[in-house]
Structure 1
Amino acid sequence: MAHTDDEGDERLAAEGEVAVARLAIDSGDLAHAADHLADAILSDPQLPELHEALAELCAAAGGPAAARELFPLDGEVYLGTVACRAHVEAAAGDWDTAVGLLASAIQYEPARPWAHTAWLAREDLPALVDPDAVAQAVARAAGALPDPMPDELADAVRPFEEFVRAVLARNGEHALLLAMASGLTRRLGATARAVELAERAHRSAPGYLPSVMLGNALRSDGQPEAALAVWEAELGREAPEKDNSSSYLAVDVAELYGALGRPADGLTWLDRVLATAPDHPKAAPAGYGLRHALDGDPVHLLGLADHHRAHPDHEYAQDLLERLSHREPWLGMVSGATEATVNVLHQVLGADGTGRDTEIDCTASAVEPPSSLLAVHLALPRSTVSYRSVGEPDPRLPLTEPTTRIWSWDGTDPRPAVAPPAASSAELVRATAEIVWPTVPAAYDHAVRLAGLPLEELLGVLVHPPLPREDDLGRALLAHQPELWVRAVQAFACLGIAHHRTDQPWEGSERRRVLRDLLLGPEDWVVEAAGFALVAIGWTHPDSRADIAGLLHRRLEYGARARRSRVVTIQRSFAALVLAAPWTDPADRDLARHLLAEEGGRGADGAGNTENTENTGNAEDTEEEAPVEPSAPHRPEPRPGLIRRLFGRS
């Protein structure tokens, strides 16, 4: 099998360490040699010269038993030391210790081929080990492995599983080994065999651990109802609130009910746990998750964030929040755009032969957010867009007299009202902006690196966005959905503003003033970006929520009124943003849901990928007129193309 460049580099590094180790052995400095071999084994655990040098070291030390002290296991231990000690113990014939140390190496670095070693494959080894020690080793190794394992990890771990299988062949009624082997086998994808092993363990020694392992195996094997039956029977033996281990099983039962579409049944189990253990690290977060499954209300996600802030050691709350925020507009990713010019841009970018030198000239029936032009010019800088009219109320006007202006207008043509940022500032924003993020608080924290940029630089980025990063994602965005990158840059620039002068109290602060001006400014994507920054502040600083709710209310109400007489292209996305701020007034959330439902009925999706651009955007109230009229793109060899959706929908 061909080695990758990284593998080749690691082998060279290991060979270098072995060479130095051999020099140290020759000079009698055995401790120095051991250090270099510990480094070498991390780089390439299978290097033949490494194992030859280990044997030479053992001989120089007076035998493997004496060489143990060269790889001490006291205190904080280096992983390379653990791996080398495993081989030394094997050479000394202490097989139980050797297997246990090998399992520890798998636990801490499972992708390394620790188990691909000759002594683990010895035919006589299963007869030489204590099944209790092997069971403990399996528990140590398997507990850190993902379920199921990706192929790369599975290949690295498989020789260990084959050894365990051989030990089971000699100790087929050892309940603990059966139960632990079931967990390892399940992670390797052999779920039917995992069920078989766990059932044998359960028959041999019914109890908590075999029940847990059998339920896990049944669940992975597509038998969730059978898993529930096993777990509930075990919990029936002793109330979960009386026993810490059982309380975790009760949480698993509750979440399995949720996975089966019965979250209300799961909540009854969590209530039993929380009645006597209100600070249980998993029960309360799981409750937020199940309540979210019941009604989908982001208030439960906010509850998870607040819970994790109050209990930072309850990592399960953070894990659940990330899982439930994934790919949700504003909660886990930038929301898409629905402007007619963006839809036409998608058509042109989807056509064969389109490049950055392609020119389009298009006319929209009414003014759209000026940031949509940034997306057009980012991908096709030689293109022009013009507008026939201005809707009422005039989207170019701010809702209140601002002290911060980023756009000016020459009739219907928008112009940046601020200078471009310095190259270093633009590059920092470029390196920071993301179209997806784990959670709202994570996005807020990620943007702290922009806190040192001057306000004028962050404002400049809003209307002078840098090109996407030169990686696979950046190239895909530029080629297919540049609007997502513009919106990501604007969102993170506004998050940078949210970190400006945080020493100032929120009320009366410069960051509040600027974000308020942007939120209540001319109708533009920057309105949403500022709104997202305000929402992120509310998620992370609860004392600001009432004030932010009032600001969001003002923008939402204006948009709802404006859409009675014209299209408000940011309305759908802004409504989703209001719902991502669950502390807002219930009436505002009801209005946001109503607006989302109405916009959804018009056929726009969350990423702005409408299937029929003739019915999207600033269309007049007549069916005959298309909202945007693109001319034929100017390219050296014009060819018709299909609309391709190469960068996924939200």
Structure 2
Amino acid sequence: MAIEGQLGGNVALDNIEHARQALARSDLAQALFHVSSALATDPTNREWRALIDQVLSKAPDPMVFVRPDEAKADFITAATRGYVLAWKKQHAEAIATVAEVAAVRPDCAYLAWARDWAQQPGVVQSIPLDVITGRIVPSVLRAVTSVSAPCSESDPRRKNCEAAVDLLGALYGAHPQEAFVIFAIGVALRRVARFDQAIQYAGYAFQLKNDWNTCIGLASALRDAKRVDEAVQYYRHAYSMRPDEIAALLDVGDTYLGASRWDEAIAAYRDVLAKDGKQAWASASILYAEHKKTGAPDVREQLWRMADGNGRASDLLMDLFGDKPYFTWLPGAGDSTAHAARDIIAQLTRKPPPPTGLGIDIPLTYMEAPSALAAFQLWTKAQGWMQVGIAAKVEGVQQPDPRSPKAQVDFQLWAFDDKVPRPNTPAPDPRVHAAIAEIAKTPYCLPMWQPLAQALAAQMGPAWMNQLLCAMVHPPPLPSPRHDPLIWVQKCQVAAALVIAYLDATPWESSQRRRTLWSIAFGPTDWVCDAAIVAMGWLAAHDASVREDVEGVFAQLEKIIPQQGFTCWEYPLVNVWKNLGGHPREMVEKLAQWKLRCESQKVEFAEEKHGGLTLEQYAELSALRDAILMKQGGGAGSAIMAAMGGGAQPELAALCKRFGIPAPMSAAAARVPGWDQRINADGALQKRFFDLTARFQLKQSGVDANSHEGRVAQQIRGGAFDVESAKQNQMAAAQAMAAGEGGDADPTVFPGQKLAKLSDYVGLMKQMQGGDFNGALKKYGLDMGSYMQASQAWGIKLASDPMLNAKFGKMMTG
């Protein structure tokens, strides 16, 4: 999480710079947006809070910028609303609001704001008790209980826990007899490891209100303080209050378990099973305690085999082996093909396909792993639906080409007929299927899979290498129709790769197993590459003589990750490399940042095409076409003339050629009938087309659609321009100009353009207002098309820059 903060650091500083620039032009709405975005990364930053105070001080009514009815109701806007409420001295609503935000985002230290406000004289006394007990305290409890006690000082939620102690303490000062507030203080104190005080407050709450909740609160405080026997006493007392609930009995077992008092823990969990023989938490916990007590491998194996259907067993197993993706648990595949296959499976499960069959195309922007398609085929076969199939319709191929080996290899597991994959091996011996399936049926955990893989490798020997490779692209059948086919294929491939990793005993560098895993990893991109990376990483983590070579392999793979599209083996690569541990600090940071980048990737699907163009390409063509027609005066007549070979025809013909569409007669008007029909028939598609066209029109006008000006233009076009915020900005700009803070009275806004300076645009406007429209265009070297572009660009600039707009108004009236 510290690395994530560093990743956000540069973005936060950029936001602060944007906020200062917006404040300089009196664009208070944008200034507030950027500074509040920065504060989301560190709400305690005093310099940034001073900047937000400066922004609010210039606004006649800052509530305009954070109205609750806005469509954008994200957590940052909600927190900023709380800040503005406090600025307006509406502290009850302000503290309740930021507490509710902290409950949703406990990693953002917004409770620090509430703490500061609550410590101001008279504030807590002004908050009604029903707001305290009904909104503030419940939200604070949700925030602090998102983490177990004690919260690590490196955990980003720690700051909220610390602020919660002070905030609740201030509320307690105003209401010293309110048991709920006192109870909450004890909960918060446990998170910051102030256990003695936590016990005092929890005990006081229990005295004031002797019920199940306060009793559990006191027991938990005693448990966290390692006062085990006293904690058990109060948990048992809580159970006597509600004998129909076994939660307190489970707490007894957990308390003994946390104290490594294994026999007492086992006895307590058996008390639970005596009341509920199927209680999964207690069953798993007993096995864990017995293993910790005896170290018996068979008990650990029972816990492991329980893990697939028992969340408690899975958590306890991770406690034994650590939280290491691809080593102790298996992340799902991230390909868009896999996501689409999973959606299709869900739909077909709800509504089976027709007897005549079903063919489904998955449009993809780039090539992806063939194994996702193979997994879907396994599933349809298990359902008896061989007439159902999916196919990937791939638009482009990234570089390096994922269909080709990434280095010199001994074999390729996949072959391709253009963009259609097929296994490049025959099906394996059924005995290999059976052996790999026996491993894959068990819960994924390489510490437990290793002895199974080693035993199978010893039984098979190197002669079975090719059969194992065949099984990687011809996975075993699903154990049952209910099995997840995507996870199954992943598990089978890793199991096969792990067996290969132990298949010969020769030194690693000269071994057949190294060459085989190398060839899989550097072969055509697929989940089999993931499996080879996992197997090599597992060996490197447990054999120092292998590590240097494997890290060299990983470094080579890192260098050839395509920049476009999704690469299935990238996320396994960074996680497995990270799992090796023992890295220098710089490498730790690099891997952490890389991992976060992978987790933020989004898969994209290709769009349909008509006339060889995607919707985005047709929108660009349309924007350019309209600009050409505008030079001829616009309207249907220009398009007809162009189609007949007159007027704009030569330019439109060149435009058609550029976009690869034929240009005889009607097509010379640069239209694609297929797209026109689709756009007219589909309202949602039509809206998207108009949005895309407007973005390209902005680009022609010199405005970046992703910039502040571009966003303002989109707001204006969509009818979402915030008039009230604009009024606030104009008032602030007028005040700044009156105070001599306006800067250059005639700024250059579009350097190098025909209307570069503000005075140029004002001169054009004044001459046009005098009735000399054509003379004004001629004076500034404009035609109708270039005027429309310049006018749009200036209009957007003035709408997005209140200070510039104020100067424009002053110059127009001067």
The interval holding the TM-score normalised by the smaller chain is 0.3 to 0.5
Q: Counting helix residues as a fraction of each chain, which structure ranks higher?
A: 2
Point out the structure with max Rg over C-alpha: 2
Instruction: Tell me the TM-score normalized by structure 2.
Output: 0.38
- Which structure has more relative contact order (CA 8 Å, sep 6+)? It is 1
Instruction: Tell me the TM-score normalized by structure 1.
Output: 0.47
